[in-house]
Structure 1
């Protein structure tokens, strides 16, 4: 009989932390892009577009790895409503991490702006050129980015709750890999 999985695989931990850094960078680059009129604007846009596509690839890889690798269960003592909230929040984060770059790509396509990944590598448009569609997708991209930022803050809050209050190993299962453990009786 196999022993239960108590931590995430090294692959999932690396993907998680790489994406965490890149997602936060993307959110701050995005905010900087829309508030600056300086010469940095075009430089920020040139970083933002390919980084968004790279994050889309990373989230698809992460989903595939997660489907084939076992992940740890939440602590048995955790109330069922918290377990459901954790599962729902992860699903919503994955939806946002997948949808946001796709909406950005579609927005760029609708605006007639190519996404250049390398000097000569252009991504094909995924939406027809349409000014009204561009405006709608730009608004959607902004709203989704704010939702992702809120989702990340809630995720971070929950991780700190597990690390500092519950001390149940949930955070360490994604950091050091030491794993989730049951709480001693009486706690």
Structure 2
């Protein structure tokens, strides 16, 4: 059996940080869309849709990378409740990264609007147009986005806890390769 790895694979780190940037951008774009009734709303929406589909595609790639590469183990002295919290929060993050774009796509479909990624690329509708379904999915998309926001905040807080309090190398394993 080979020795445990101390750092995430380079592709895993690249996808992590690229998606972190995309997700934080999406959260701010979504908040901007919700707060705007100006022509800026359309501009933000035209950013939001393709970025959401890109996140959906990248999370599939990221899951493949995660299951095909080895991850560094959590520190052996980490309390069991924190190990469980780490594992469950990662499951929740992946579920939200996958679900939110699908709910958004379904929501736009239920609104009867085309899901345009560019002027010439239109995705098929996931659902038929239906006002009640649209209203439900819009509410679900909003609440899931809030859940993602709070989960990301907890993820960042945990990473900083590992870096500044425990000083156990957990954050370092995602920041850079082998020292």
Bin for the TM-score computed over the shorter chain? over 0.9
Deviation per residue, 1:100-144 (Å, 9 max, x gap): 000000000000111111221100001111000000000000000
For the residues of structure 2 that align with 1:147 and 1:52, how far apart are their CA atoms?
16
Give the corresponding residue for 1:58. Answer: 58
Corresponding residue number in structure 2 for 1:28 = 28
More helix by share: 2
Alignment of 1:123 with 2:123, yes or no, is yes
Q: Structure 2 length as normaliser, TM-score?
A: 0.97
How far 1:178 moved relative to its partner?
4.1
Aligned to 2:154: 154
Task: Show CA shifts across 1:57-88 (max 9, x none).
Answer: 01110001101001111010111111111000
Map of 2:43 onto structure 1: 43
* TM superposition score normalised by structure 1: 0.93
Q: Is the 8 A contact 1:22 1:55 kept in 2?
A: yes
Distance in 2 between the 1:83 and 1:143 partners?
A: 26
- Aligned equivalents of 1:34 and 1:78: distance in 2? 40
Q: Please list every run of 5 or more consecutive structure 1 residues that lacks an aligned counterpart in the other structure.
A: 180-187
Distance 1:169 1:98 in 2: 28
Extract structure 1 runs of 4+ deviating beyond 2 A: none
